[in-house]
Amino acid sequence: MTRIKEIVQAITKKYKTNNPFELADYMGVNVIHWDLHEEINGFYKYDKRNKYIFINRNLDDPLQKFTCAHEFGHSQLHPRLNTPFLRKNTLYSTSRIEQEANTFAIELLVPDRIVHENYHSTIYEMATAYGIPEEVVQLKNFKQKIGIFS
């Protein structure tokens, strides 16, 4: 999962943001807010070289942001795969691609800089503050090439 951290760091360094909506816009990934079934948070679709992220517009803002980060992760890690719906219970998925997209989302939304700045907080407190579902917080990679957690 170190590869995912490196991909996230390269993207955020290049575009100077970790906002998944802004990154999707910069990288030509279309984000569409749609009325989806209450159990569906969103999904990623690839069609004829076009990338789409569908997000359930009925979600609260923090969950929309996490969903966008997760689906943006698919667009970067699995660009030509159409992914299944991110359902509420998909957060517990053991599927490799879903675990990778969840890891991408948490690395994007809670970069190491945030962890270092909030060293007095638990990772669960940081996750709550940054809209990360508690079910995926354990995917945060604290290992760095250099730094406190190496």
Q: What is the CATH number of the domain that holds 70?
A: 1.10.10.2910
**Whether the Cβ atoms of residue 27 and residue 14 lie closer than 8 Å to each other:** no
Q: Does residue 14 form part of some domain? A: yes
pLDDT of residue 3: 94
Sign of CA dihedral 134, 139, 142, 144: negative
pTM (predicted TM-score): 0.85
Within the chain, which residues score under 50 in pLDDT? 144-150
pLDDT digits 0-9 by tens, 68-82: 999 999 999 999 888
pLDDT of residue 1: 58
pLDDT of residue 124: 82
Domain count, the chain: 1
pLDDT of residue 145: 42
* Radius of gyration of the CA atoms of the chain, in A: 15
Q: Does residue 144 form part of some domain? A: no
Task: Give the closest residue to 75 by CA, choosing from 95, 49, 39, 111.
Answer: 49
Strand order in the sheet with 40-47: 29-34, 50-56, 40-47, 86-87
